Amino acid sequence: MIESEAWGVLNHKEPSSVMERVESVSTIMNKLLAILSVCALSASLQGLVRAESSECSSCEKNKTAVGTEAKSECTAAQKTLTLKVGGAVCEASCGKLVTALTRIQGVSKAESCTQSQMTKVSYDAAKVSECSLMSAVKEAGYTVEGQQVSLPVEGMQCGGCSTKVGKVLTSLEGVISGSACHESKQATVMFHPEKVSQDKIVAAIQSTGFKVAVQ
């Protein structure tokens, strides 16, 4: 009888203890799985954030590089042509000349002065050349009497330096007038573009020992 009761108690408690252990293990496993799921989700989110950050950083770098390159190219292509034009002696004639120039693709601005008879044209060198602009002036019924350039000259320290540069400029065939200023570090030259080139003018200045910072 006792043995039967003992067996019954043992038989009753042991399964209960096993079930508690199983439930305890199951609870722990569920918690571990939940923790692992959260960790996996967190790692996945961090990976996405890093990937997005990397893509954005790369995109911004590309935008900056592209923007900088475009700006540099744009600045390099923008030129100014200054001409002394014969025949533009009144507002009507100057207006006609300006209209003819601004119609040319690549020209962003043109202005002409009746008193000095100087015409200044801002243009995109990638779209139109100096020769084309001069041809347009002639086709409009005017004459190109000269082209003026201002060149930055490095190394001039005194009036003697300015005089030296001025003399070599005026000695060139095709140069109408030429002068230099050691204070502004500039040389201003009016010349016939059909007779002498700007490259030859630059070479003449540099032959005096000074350097022209050609833009």
Tens-place pLDDT, residues 16-28 = 555 565 566 667 6
In this structure, how many other beta carbons lie within 10 angstroms of the beta carbon of residue 79?
A: 17
- Mean pLDDT of all residues in 43-67: 43
What's residue 59's pLDDT? 39
> Which of the 8 DSSP states describes residue 81?
E
- Mean pLDDT of all residues in 5-23: 50
Burial of 105 (0-12, 13-18, 19+ CB in 10 A): exposed
- At residue 57 the predicted structure's pLDDT band, cuts being 50, 70 and 90, is very low
What's residue 154's pLDDT? 94
> Which comes out higher in pLDDT, residue 213 or 195?
195
- Mean pLDDT of all residues in 197-208: 95
Distance CA 199, CA 166 (A): 16
What's residue 128's pLDDT? 95
What's residue 213's pLDDT? 85
- Taking the domains of the chain in order of start, what are their residue ranges? 145-215
Please provide the CATH number assigned to the domain covering 145-215.
Answer: 3.30.70.100
Does 7 have pLDDT greater than 50?
no
> Which comes out higher in pLDDT, residue 24 or 143?
143
Dihedral of CA atoms 75, 193, 197, 187 in degrees, nearest 10, equals -70
Averaged confidence pLDDT in the chain: 79
Distance CA 50, CA 62 (A): 18
Does 32 have pLDDT greater than 80?
no
Does 10 have pLDDT greater than 60?
no
DSSP string spanning 5-19? HHHHHHHHHHHHHHH
The 3-state DSSP class for residue 150 equals strand
pLDDT tens, 82-118? 999 999 889 999 999 999 999 999 999 999 999 999 9
DSSP string spanning 118-161? EEEEEEETTT--HHHHHHHHHHTT-EEEEEEEEEEEES--SHHH
Distance CA 198, CA 214 (A): 10
Does 2 have pLDDT greater than 90?
no
What's residue 52's pLDDT? 44
> Which comes out higher in pLDDT, residue 64 or 70?
70
Residues 112/121, Cβ–Cβ less than 8 Å: no
What's residue 105's pLDDT? 95
